[in-house]
Chain A
Amino acid sequence: MTDIAAAPPKAGRSLWADAWARLKANKAAMVSAYYLVFIAVLCIAGPWFTPHQFTTIYQDYNRVPPSLSAYPKPEMLDLAVTDAVRRSRVDLLSWEQKDGKIYITVTSAKPIDERMTRYIDRSSVFEGAQIVDKSADGLKVILSAEIERKYFFFGTDNSGRDLLTRTLVAGRVSLAIGLLAGLVAVVIGVLYGAAAGFLGGRTDEVLMRIVDILYSLPFIFFVIMLVVFFGRNFVLMFLAVGAVLWLDMARIVRGQALSIKRQEYVQAAEALGVTRTGILLRHVVPNLLGPVVIYMTLLVPQVIILESFLSFLGLGVQEPMASWGVLISQGANNMPGANWLLFFPSLFLTTTLFALNFIGDGLRDALDPKDR
C-alpha cells in the first residue's frame, strides 16, 4: 500500500482481465482446467485410437484383469485351444506354439471338413487358421493359426468388452449430458430469474412462489416421473433433467437482478436516457455473468452425479451405450471378483468432479467483487 504514489499510472483492468489474472494465479483451478481439457480430449478422441470398439464382445476374454502386456497370456492358450477345437466338433490331439503361431493337431471319427478352420477363426484368440497337413484318410489334420495379440489396459467387463474404450465412450456421454443439461438449466434459470427480478411486483411474487412450491416437491420423485415420461430417449430425458435443475439458478439471478436494478449507475444511465436494451446489455448482463458462470461450473458436476445416480438405478443410459454411472453400477455388482470394473470408472468420474469443483471455487474467488 505504501508505494501507491510511486507507482506509475496504470491502465485500469477490466473485470474480466482482472478475474482472469486471479484465476491464473489459482494453482488448483488451473491444474484442474488442464486436467479437464485432458479428460475431455481423451474421451472424445480416445475411442478412435483404442484397438477395440466399445460394443465388441470378445467371448474368450470375459472379465480379464487389466494388464500392460498383451493377451492371450501363455496360460490362457490351452483353454482357448480346447474351446475352439470343441466348437469345431473335432477332438484335440496336441498343440504347440512356434514363433507366434500355433499348431494344433486334431482328429475325428469322420473325415474332417476343411471348412472347420472357420470355427477356429471365430475364437477371439486366433486368426488366419489354415490346414497345414492332412493324413491320407482325412481323419487327422494339423492346423496352423496366428495368435491375435490384444491389449486390455483396463481389463474387460462381464461380456468381454474392453473397459478402456467403454470408460472413454462413457466419459463422452457423461460430459455431454453434464454440459447439455447444465446449459438447459442455466438458460431457463437466467430467463426466469431475470424476468422475476426485472418485472418485479406481482409477477415476481407469483414467479417466485412457483419456485418455492417446486422446491418442496421431492426432487427424486420429479426426476423419476420425467424418466418415465421420456422413456429411453436419453437426450430428451436430460433436457428434462436440466429443466428441473434451474431452480437455484433462478433464485440467484433474481437476487442479482433486483440488486443491480437499484444500483446508482443504472439510475444514472436511465437519467441519461439510455434505452432499456442498452442498460440491459451494458450493465445488467455483464454483472449477471459472474454468478451465472460460477453456478454453471458447479451445476455440471451436479448433473453428472445425477445422471450417474439415475444410471445406477437403471433409469439412465441404456446398454450397449454406457456412462460412468452405468459402468460404476456394473462394477459395484461384480465387486469381489473384478475390482477394476469399479475402480477405473470411479477414478475417472471422481477426478472429473474434483476438477470441476476446483474450477468452480477458483472462478468464485476470481469473480467475487467482495474479495478484491
Chain B
Amino acid sequence: MLRYVIRRLLTAIPTLFVIVTISFFLMRVAPGGPFNQEKGLNPDIKANLERVYHLDESLLMQYLRYLWNLVRGDFGPTYTSPDFTVAERFANGLPVSIQLGGMALILALLIGGALGIIAALHQNKWEDYSVIATATAGSTIPTFVIAPLFQLFFALSLKWFPVGGWGDGALINKVGPVLTLMLPQLAIVARLMRGSMIESLHSHHIRTARALGLSDYAIIIRHALRGALLPVVSYAGPAAAALLTGSVIVETIFSIPGVGREFVFSALNRDYTMVMGTVVVIALFTISFNLIVDILYAVVDPRVRYD
C-alpha cells in the first residue's frame, strides 16, 4: 500500500509539470499583460515595473525562472496587490474556500447519501419520487439562479441571514454560500447513492444475508451500503477538489473573499503568478483527492488490492 502511494505521488510530478507548462504558455499567448490595464502608465515606469518582475526577459527564461522558484516552493509576488505574495494571498483566501467547500461537501455526502438510501429502500414509492424530484431540481437549477433567489427570500425578505459578506467567518454568514454550494452536489450524491444502493440490494450476498435472518439494519448498513459506496466515493474525490478550491459564482454573489473569485479576476487582470499559483493548487488538490479516493476504494471494497 505504501509503495503504491509513493508511486502515485511520483507519477504526479510529470503531470504537474505538464499542467504548469501548458497553463504558463497558454496565458502568455493571450493578449495583454499585468500592467496594460492601468491607463496612461508612463512607458519608463512600465519598463521599470516589467524589469522588477523579470517580464522583460525572454519567455523561455521567465518559464525556467518560474519553474525553479516553484520547485523551491516560491509562488512569487502578485502583480495586482504588490504588498502580498501569492503564498500570502492563498493563506488568506484558501482557508475561507476550504471552510465553505468542506462544510458543503460533508453536508452533501451525509444528507445526499441518506436521501439516496431512503429512496432506494422505498423504490417507486412517494419517498423515492420526492428524492428524485429534489435531485432533478438540485442538479438542473444553476447556482447563479439559486444564490440570488436565496438572497431574495431568506436575506432580503425574511431577513434570516445576511445578504453577503464573510463577517470574519461568522456561522450565519456561511449558511447561504454553504447551502448553494451543497445543493447541486447533494443532488448528484443522492442520485448516485440511490442507483448503486438499488443495485446492491439486488445482489446475491444481500439475498444470502436475508436468508440467514440478519436484521434489516445489519443488512442495509453493514452489507448493502458498503458495496453501494464505491460510485459515491469516486464522485466525491474530484467534487471535493473542486469545492475546496472555491466557486467563483458563489463567492462573487455572496462577496466571500475566497480563492475561486480571486482566480477568475486574476486571470482577467493577467496576474500571471496568481493564476499559475491557483492552477498549481487546484492540480495538487485534484491529484491528492484522486489518490485518497483510490485508497478509500481499498478500504471500502476488500476486493480492491494495490501492490
Contact = CB atoms under 8 A, between A and B. Distances in A.
Interface of A: 213, 216-218, 220-222, 224-225, 228-229, 301, 305, 308-309, 312-313, 315, 325, 328-329, 331-332, 335-336, 339, 342, 346, 349-350, 353-354, 357
A350 B31 CA distance: 35
A106 to B, nearest CB: 43
Contact of B267 (A213, A224, A357): A224
Given A312-B249, A349-B145, A221 B140 contact: no
A315 B248 CA distance: 13
Given A213-B15, A220-B264, A301-B140, 4 more contacts: A221-B278, A312-B249, A313-B252, A349-B142
B159 to A, nearest CB: 11
A201 B32 CA distance: 41
A217 B23 contact: yes
Nearest to B282: A218
A314 to B, nearest CB: 9
Contact of B148 (A216, A229, A301, A332): A332
Contacts of B32: 228
B136 A357 contact: yes
Nearest to A358: B136
Contact of B249 (A216, A309, A315, A354): A309
Dominant SS at the B interface?
A: helix
A346 B143 CA distance: 11
Given A335-B156, A357-B140, A217 B19 contact: yes
Dominant SS at the A interface?
A: helix
A350 B140 contact: yes
B15 A216 contact: yes
Q: Which 8 A-B pairs have the closest CB atoms?
A: A332-B148, A224-B267, A228-B30, A346-B145, A218-B282, A336-B156, A312-B144, A353-B140
A228 B268 contact: yes
Contact of B142 (A309, A315, A335, A336): A309
B136 A328 contact: no
Contact of A328 (B18, B148, B152, B267): B148
Contacts of B252: 313
A213 B249 contact: no
B79 interface: no
Interface in B165-208: none
Nearest to A325: B144
B15 to A, nearest CB: 6
Interface string B8-48: 00000001001100110011011110000000000000000
29 contacts: A216-B283, A216-B286, A217-B19, A217-B279, A218-B279, A218-B283, A221-B267, A221-B275, A221-B279, A222-B26, A225-B267, A228-B30, A228-B268, A301-B140, A308-B142, A313-B248, A328-B145, A328-B148, A329-B144, A332-B151, A335-B156, A346-B145, A346-B148, A350-B141, A350-B142, A353-B140, A353-B141, A353-B142, A357-B139
Interface in B202-229: none
A221 B140 CA distance: 23
B304 interface: no
A35 B15 CA distance: 45
B263 A221 contact: yes
Contacts of A301: 140
Contacts of B27: 225
B148 A335 contact: yes
B192 to A, nearest CB: 15
Interface string B222-248: 000000000000000000000000001
B146 to A, nearest CB: 9
A354 B136 contact: yes
Interface string B118-157: 0000000000000000001001111011011101100010
